[in-house]
Structure 1
């Protein structure tokens, strides 16, 4: 950098060998920020033959998209200063992060005598970030052809995203590791078919609706059928729905995977845009009931907005999209019917049930593969775990292993060990149930207190939809004799509160 050049406009004047930067012609494109590594790489590859000079520049406000016209300004405080090139590490799922440029300006000479400039800048928008690429040149055919071909190549590579293809990614709103907050690459576990303990019927459904569908997808599209499919995985907590998702992702290695949580569903457009770029792609919406509850149960405009965005984006995919949408829920009955029962959104609903006797036996053997069950211990564990989830079985096996270690007989597990571990687990469960009843009674009593003292008006907690449905007499008043005896006709608020508190304590 020349010592006399403090501002970008000074460098541009010298580079373009003109006294009037207003004659420059520029074209620009905007992309979502997750494409930054791809865009920067292709920019560097394209400008490399022309021995570029890379400059950094100051951005006043991170929410303000910088344009090349801003860089040409030479007036007072609006003149953009030259700075060192600033880099930001981006997680791309490799051993080393990608060193991305926050704002960069490449000055090049095409064929040694035609000046051009390429600008890469990043700015924030509501819900994420954007990246802008702009090419400037003098008004001549060589510069025009260069800019046109350059941006065409940028767009083509932006549609492929080689850095995130065939990986599992998510959008992260908070990151305390100092890396870019836009994307997170996840290392999903490798799950083989033998690792999935489900009934033959359930596995057959998975094969039909997932793996066979993917195998037939191209032929289906040639026959005029849709290439995208929505599948709902439902079942009790702990039955292994997330494990099934990992199994599907691990055994479709040519697919990218996008993980979406409920709090991220306000940015549906960005998630589905990424899915189109990365297709064939798997989109995973875990605990979708947190967002896609029945409209009758939605209590706020934000929740209904999320639901509508999800439905609209699913409808907008098109029949040629190679996208598999997996939704999981513990509460299928609470889902909005427009999602759960409409083909084209959810095309198949697969229950991941509680394990039967055979599955529990296989689970115990799998989780306790290093243990030696003796004297009917395995059969007893299968019997005592009837009605339990896979997650519960896993914890029981861990307790058995710990007990065998503490007894100094590991890896041996006896029937007495099984009986003792289940007895402890059942005692814990019974204690929890008793505590739940106590908490519920306290809540009811507290509710009585609030009602007596003129607080806790139920109508204040009703949604507008509930108020319309609830008749005025929906809440029955306390009997007049009860109110008179408790408060008296002219009792003060303090007296009411004290009497009500005494009542609650003595219930």
Structure 2
């Protein structure tokens, strides 16, 4: 029996009208009655008709309720087809599923089966009637997946597409995307009589997934182990490697206060370089670049990174901190995959310190290998931060081919403090505040100190709130906040809060 005949037979059987199905039921019932009471009908003719009707109803039932029978109704000889299988981390699930949807829709005939069987495709194709009855065509579990920082969708744990094209794919093919429950990996399987045709389908799916990935031009951070999520609503069942979306920090030009020299260097070294990268590469410049922000805590290194991430909205930003730096090879692989990309590595002195004092020497070697391993046409920008540049391995900070420039971010001068305080005080009533007095009294403090001082002054001012008056900050509120923050902690206490930080 050919696949074409089988397919046509079951297609017609599947589309039989309800009235015809009712007739088949009546014929079966009539045959049973005739057999039991000996009605004056030709018993053999009646039994034959009833048997045929029962067979058709049975085939219709199997086709409608069991996965294996539905597949074999399309492709009777599918159990002899080669199956190409690819397995991927969980973060690629949405991309693979959406890409498969797009590719299968290119074929004139496509039937979608939503089911759930936690087993390889080869077992769904085997010719075993008893085993097939253990594979009911049942609705799959729908699992949540983020597709952006604010949007979540639900995906079926298993989808099977039966596709065919009488001219370009006459034998048809089976495409399957499913979540392997025990290890949270995603499997892409394609079965086809011609292995080369199956390979072409897989290549088409992967190409589309890579080109239209949900992570492109987003801000993401890798997750290498089970982690507690910050929102009660977020699913925490995922294990192993995954990617998390981070919200756009929305640090615009009017929200960041930088020394003009620093702003000019950041603009040229990072933002303009990214904007005109293709043009610059035509003149022989490599597409990769790296910078290192260093300076005392609280002086705006992380905030400047957020500013860069917001400005480079056509790049994929990858943020790695703390334990994530152990997996620096994986981070760099993501950068290559989603380029043009921006890689932000924070507090690199904790993992990439001088090799003589570094217990993580192999990881340091991984970073050096990765920085040296990029090609001239790779479009990747690295931004590193540290509070202790003297601890950072010299092969990183002193090598122009790896880090193009080290940029110092120190405590703000009087002009920057004036601008910073003006922005921080803008939402409040400050008519009696002597701004210049506060500017002069905060010589040497960090931006973080100024922000905390304003927060404390707001708290102090609300202690005397009058209904409907709003927040009215007085000069004494700021003086009290400054006094409280600079007394009682000693020299080390002042350093912790960013007062009189040392360059």
**Do they superpose with TM above 0.5?**
yes
Report the counterpart of residue 58 of structure 1 in structure 2. Answer: 117
Distance 1:78 1:297 in 2: 61
Report the counterpart of residue 276 of structure 1 in structure 2. Answer: 336
SS in 1 for 2:207: helix
Q: How does 1:335-346 map to 2 (within 5 A)?
A: 335-346=392-403
In the alignment, is residue 402 of structure 1 matched against residue 459 of structure 2?
Answer: yes
Distance 1:415 1:150 in 2: 71
1:419 aligned to which of 465, 479, 488: 479
Deviates more, 1:391-400 or 1:188-197: 188-197
1:86-114 superposed Cα distances (whole Å, 9 cap, x missing partner):
33211111654132333332223434963
SS in 1 for 2:427: coil
TM-score, L = length of structure 2:
0.74
**Offset at 1:338?**
1.9
CA contact (8 A) 1:234 1:352 kept: yes
CA contact (8 A) 1:8 1:72 kept: no
CA contact (8 A) 1:90 1:179 kept: no
Q: How does 1:184-263 map to 2 (within 5 A)?
A: 184-263=244-323
Q: Which has the larger radius of gyration?
A: 2
Pick closer, same or farther for the CA change 1:30–1:92 going to 2, 3 Å. Answer: same
CA contact (8 A) 1:161 1:278 kept: no
Distance 2:130 2:401 in 1: 55
1:69 aligned to which of 122, 125, 138: 122
Distance 2:214 2:435 in 1: 47
In the alignment, is residue 99 of structure 1 matched against residue 154 of structure 2?
Answer: yes
TM-score, L = length of structure 1:
0.74
1:348 aligned to which of 394, 400, 405: 405
CA contact (8 A) 2:325 2:345 kept: no
Gapped regions of structure 1 (runs ≥ 5) = 61-65, 437-507
2:324 aligned to which of 264, 278, 282: 264
1:152 aligned to which of 203, 211, 215: 203
Distance 1:238 1:77 in 2: 68
SS in 2 for 1:195: coil
1:239-274 superposed Cα distances (whole Å, 9 cap, x missing partner):
111110111111122112111122123433432232
Q: Number of matched residues?
A: 418
**Offset at 1:326?**
0.9
Report the counterpart of residue 118 of structure 1 in structure 2. Answer: 175
1:135 aligned to which of 190, 212, 218: 190
1:100-138 superposed Cα distances (whole Å, 9 cap, x missing partner):
33333222343496332112234599xx96533221122
Distance 1:129 1:223 in 2: 46
**Offset at 1:367?**
0.7
**Offset at 1:374?**
4.9
CA contact (8 A) 2:99 2:206 kept: no
Distance 1:343 1:2 in 2: 71
**Offset at 1:351?**
1.1
CA contact (8 A) 1:91 1:183 kept: no
Distance 1:205 1:349 in 2: 10
1:17 aligned to which of 42, 56, 76: 76
Report the counterpart of residue 145 of structure 2 in structure 1. Answer: 90
Distance 1:269 1:2 in 2: 54
2:367 aligned to which of 302, 307, 310: 310
CA contact (8 A) 1:35 1:161 kept: no
Report the counterpart of residue 163 of structure 2 in structure 1. Answer: 108
Distance 2:300 2:292 in 1: 13
Pick closer, same or farther for the CA change 1:123–1:86 going to 2, 3 Å. Answer: same
**Offset at 1:59?**
2.4
In the alignment, is residue 323 of structure 1 matched against residue 380 of structure 2?
Answer: yes
**Offset at 1:148?**
4.3
**Offset at 1:75?**
8.2
CA contact (8 A) 1:92 1:184 kept: no
